[in-house]
Amino acid sequence: MTLIGGTLILLLLVVGWILNLGNRLNVVSRLAADDRPYFRGFKPWGYTFKRGCISLATISCYLAPAAILAGAAFWCRQSHMDIGHYVFAFLSATAFGLGVFTLPGCMTVYAVEGDPAVLKQPIAAFQRAWVHKRAYLFAWWIACLSILLSFLGLVILGVGFLFTSVWAWDVVGYAFTVAMYGRKEGTLS
C-alpha cells in the first residue's frame, strides 16, 4: 500500500517528493527499531512532511558547494577563461561526488537516532561512512542498481517509473540502514 500511496503522492510534484523523502526517513527509523510493519504510508502527514523538508534542506546544503563551483565554471567558460573553467568544473564534480557519497552517512543516522544535529556535521558523516566503507560501498552498489532498475518503469508508458522509483528508494533506505547499523538477530532481515 505504501508503494501505491507513494506513487500517487509523487504526482503532487514538489510536495509529493518532500513527503516521499520524509517517508523514507520514517521507514529507515522503523527498520532500525524493527518496528513492523516498516511500510505504513505517510501518517502522521505533518511529521512526515517536516522530516521531508529537513531532508530536502540537508540535500540542498550538501550539494550547494557543487552548484556554486559549477556556476563559477560556467562563468569562467563564458569569460573564455579555460583554465578556470576546468579547475572549477573538476572542483564541482569532486564536491558533488563527496556530497552524494556522504549524504546517506548523515541521513541514515538522523533517521535512526532522530537527532537533526548530525545533519550539520558533514565531516563526521563522511567519517562514519568511511568507517563502514565496505558495507557502505556495497549499499551504494545496491542503491545504484535499484535506481537503475527503477528506470525500467519508463517502459510502461512512463507511469511505471512512479512505482519503481518509490520501490527503489525503499531499497536504498534498507541498504544504508544495514550498512550503517548492521544486522541484529531477528532485525533487518
Note the pLDDT of residue 168: 85
Domain count for the chain, please give it: 1
3-class SS string, the chain: CHHHHHHHHHCCCHHHHHHHHHHHHHHHHHHHHCCCCCCCCCCCHHHHHHHHHHHHHHHHHHHHHHHHHHHHHHHHHHCCCHHHHHHHHHHHHHHHHHHHHHHHHHHHHHHHHCCHHHHHCHHHHHHHHHHCHHHHHHHHHHHHHHHHHHHHHHHCCCCHHHHHHHHHHHHHHHHHHHHHHCCCCCCCC
Note the pLDDT tens digit of each residue in 64-74: 999 999 999 99
Under the banding of pLDDT at 50, 70 and 90, the label for residue 186 is very low
Answer yes or no: is 23 within a domain.
yes
Note the pLDDT tens digit of each residue in 125-181: 999 999 999 999 999 999 999 989 888 887 776 667 777 877 888 889 899 999 998
| pLDDT, mean over the chain | 87
Q: CA angle, 172 as apex, 67 and 112 as ends, to 5°?
A: 95
Note the pLDDT tens digit of each residue in 75-104: 999 999 999 999 999 999 999 999 999 999
Supply the Cα-derived Rg of the chain in whole angstroms.
Answer: 18
In the block, cell 568511511 appears at: 130
Answer yes or no: is 139 within a domain.
yes
Instruction: Give φ, ψ of 34 to 5 degrees.
Output: 50, 45
Under the banding of pLDDT at 50, 70 and 90, the label for residue 8 is low
Note the pLDDT of residue 19: 84
Note the pLDDT tens digit of each residue in 11-55: 677 888 888 889 889 989 998 898 888 878 778 889 999 999 999
Answer yes or no: is 189 within a domain.
no
Note the pLDDT tens digit of each residue in 165-182: 778 888 898 999 999 988
Answer yes or no: is 187 within a domain.
no
Note the pLDDT of residue 85: 97
Answer yes or no: is 71 within a domain.
yes
Answer yes or no: is 122 within a domain.
yes
Cα(1)–Cα(163) distance, rounded to whole angstroms?
Answer: 11
Q: Which domain holds residue 151?
A: 2-181
Answer yes or no: is 186 within a domain.
no
Note the pLDDT tens digit of each residue in 110-121: 999 999 999 999
Residue 4 has pLDDT above 70, yes or no: no
Note the pLDDT of residue 36: 86
Distance of CA 177 to the CA centre of its chain: 12
